[in-house]
Amino acid sequence: MSGNFQLPEPLSARRIVVAMSGGVDSSVTAALALKSGAEVIGVTLRLYDHGEAVGRKGACCAGQDIRDAAAVADRLGFAHHVIDHESAFRQSVVEQFADEYLAGRTPIPCVRCNMGPKFTDLFAIARDLGADCLATGHYVRRVEGAQGAEMHRAIDPARDQSYFLFATTRAQLEFLRFPLGGMPKADVRAIASSLGLGVAAKPDSQDICFVPDGDYAGIVTKVRPGAVHEGAIVDLEGRELGRHRGIIHYTVGQRRGLEIGGMAEPLYVVRIDAAKNEVIVGPRAALAVSSARLSGINRLATAEEWGALGPLTAKVRSMAKPAPARLDGDRLVFDTPEYGVSPGQAAVLYADDRVVAGGWIEETASAFQG
Ligand SMILES: Nc1ncnc2c1ncn2[C@@H]1O[C@H](COP(=O)(O)OP(=O)(O)OP(=O)(O)O)[C@@H](O)[C@H]1O
């Protein structure tokens, strides 16, 4: 293999399975794995048949991406397998995504995908192939701590994907490698060009891979036809202020697109009541939340470490600023009221740069005294 670059961190393994999506990140991950001297086997999961199941052409994990991954394997000289996962992906990710919206929640399918097809299944495949580890192109760092592997934010804050990986178990983390977590994206592209990889300038994947044009409502209606109904937009006292086109078009904290004019102050979506098919709106102050109940809590710090972690911060949306908080049983308690906390999103707790726990937001306790 030509190309003059340094390994960001040692990858001491004899055989590495690399999860390849056909993009520049996982291609460079494979190149780094090869450079470390290991035998590399690339695996690509075909997640859906583009243009068919969810009505989008040219999205990731489909035709062109599979050809790109195969071309990289061919150029660098390692084996590459494509495994059909369409029905598993559709069931565990796409349908769940639609059902979450219909339940009035705001889902994050990327986490479900990481937990389901990507990790659980790729793990089984990697073990079957006799690999010592599974490497992916995620931007997150795996740090060897005193009590085992730890997950830390990527050094490039704009690229950090730790929020989406909170559900990775400690056992999975032991087997995973993320060689890009310590690198800026520019270096990743430079390595790809130095190796003459066709994907060097391939654009980054945007948004949710099966909804690249942003039309998530279109996916919901395709997956669950006839399930979306118009209904009432009501204020905090239950008075109807207008009509909505279906609760799936709304998310907690949303202000735009409510189409209710003539109000003295701007109104925001405060809650979505799926049972009543209602969108409840109120002033910004009504978005203030003092705590949230979490489900599916995954702790990445041991019980022994927990007491000595120091102050924690929680991120309640992928783009949110981490806010001081603590975990009390299954309740995430904010030091000061937090805004725009939506059921269905993840709450991820950090001690400095380390991910120490995370869970799904189920319900919130209002801090509003209106
Ligand atoms: N269909 C797939 N098959 C195998 N691995 C995948 C697949 N999709 C994603 N991955 C793995 O998960 C990582 C993160 O995926 P994500 O979609 O967040 O990143 P990306 O920016 O699209 O990465 P890339 O540039 O490698 O496409 C990828 O780098 C790859 O290792």
Res. 56: pLDDT tops 60: no
Over residues 315-358, the pLDDT tens digits come to 999 999 999 999 999 999 999 999 989 999 999 999 999 999 99
Q: How confident is the model at residue 55 (pLDDT cuts 50, 70, 90)?
A: very low
Residues 66 and 181 in one domain: yes
Residues 113 and 176 in one domain: yes
Mean pLDDT value of segment 3-18: 78
Residues 84 and 190 in one domain: yes
Per-residue pLDDT, 176:
95
Is the distance from CB of 268 to CB of 288 less than 8 angstroms?
A: no
Q: How confident is the model at residue 87 (pLDDT cuts 50, 70, 90)?
A: confident
**What proportion of the chain, given as a percentage, has pLDDT over 90?**
73
Q: What separation in Å is there between the alpha carbon of 302 and the centre of ligand 1? A: 29
Residues 164 and 23 in one domain: yes
Res. 54: pLDDT tops 50: no
Residues 323 and 264 in one domain: no
DSSP reduced 3-state for 44: strand
Over residues 182-224, the pLDDT tens digits come to 999 999 999 999 999 999 998 887 678 788 678 889 999 999 9
- 209 has catalytic annotation: yes
What are φ and ψ of residue 304, in 5° steps?
-65, -40
Rounded Cα distance, 228 and 231, in Å: 10
Nearest residue (by CA) to ligand 1, atom 29, is 137
Residues 292 and 279 in one domain: no
Q: Which domain holds residue 347?
A: 288-366
Residue 315, domain member (yes or no): yes
Cβ neighbors of 16 (< 8 A, separation 6 or more) are 33, 36, 38, 39, 40, 41, 131, 132, 133, 134, 135, 177
Residue 203, domain member (yes or no): no
Residues 130 and 252 in one domain: no
Q: What separation in Å is there between the alpha carbon of 224 and the centre of ligand 1? A: 27
The ligand 1 atom at the shortest distance from the C-alpha of residue 202 is 25
Mean pLDDT value of segment 102-106: 95
Residue 66, domain member (yes or no): yes
Residue 200, domain member (yes or no): no
Residues 329 and 355 in one domain: yes
Q: Which of 267, 286, 305 is the last residue of a domain?
A: 286
Q: What separation in Å is there between the alpha carbon of 258 and the centre of ligand 1? A: 35
Residues 49 and 104 in one domain: yes
Q: Please tell me whether 335 is known to bind a ligand.
A: no
Q: Which of 237, 256, 286 is the last residue of a domain?
A: 286
Nearest residue (by CA) to ligand 1, atom 28, is 137
Q: Please tell me whether 21 is known to bind a ligand.
A: yes
Q: How confident is the model at residue 310 (pLDDT cuts 50, 70, 90)?
A: very high
Per-residue pLDDT, 46:
86
Of the candidates 60, 61, 110, 113, the residue annotated as catalytic is 113
Rounded Cα distance, 229 and 46, in Å: 33
Is the distance from CB of 58 to CB of 49 less than 8 angstroms?
A: no
| Count of structural domains within the chain | 3
Residue 3, domain member (yes or no): no
Of the candidates 61, 110, 133, 209, the residue annotated as catalytic is 209
What are φ and ψ of residue 108, in 5° steps?
-125, 90
Residues 278 and 189 in one domain: no
The ligand 1 atom at the shortest distance from the C-alpha of residue 26 is 26
Residues 53 and 121 in one domain: yes
- Could you tell me which of 36, 32, 31, 29 has the C-alpha nearest to residue 12? 36
ipTM of the complex: 0.97
Report whether residue 111 contacts ligand 1, using a CB cutoff of 6 Å: no
Per-residue pLDDT, 5:
67
Over residues 110-163, the pLDDT tens digits come to 888 877 767 888 999 999 999 999 999 999 999 999 999 999 999 999 999 999
Q: What separation in Å is there between the alpha carbon of 26 and the centre of ligand 1? A: 6
- 113 has catalytic annotation: yes
Report whether residue 19 contacts ligand 1, using a CB cutoff of 6 Å: yes
Which tokens go with 305? 């470490």
Rounded Cα distance, 349 and 346, in Å: 10
Rounded Cα distance, 186 and 194, in Å: 12
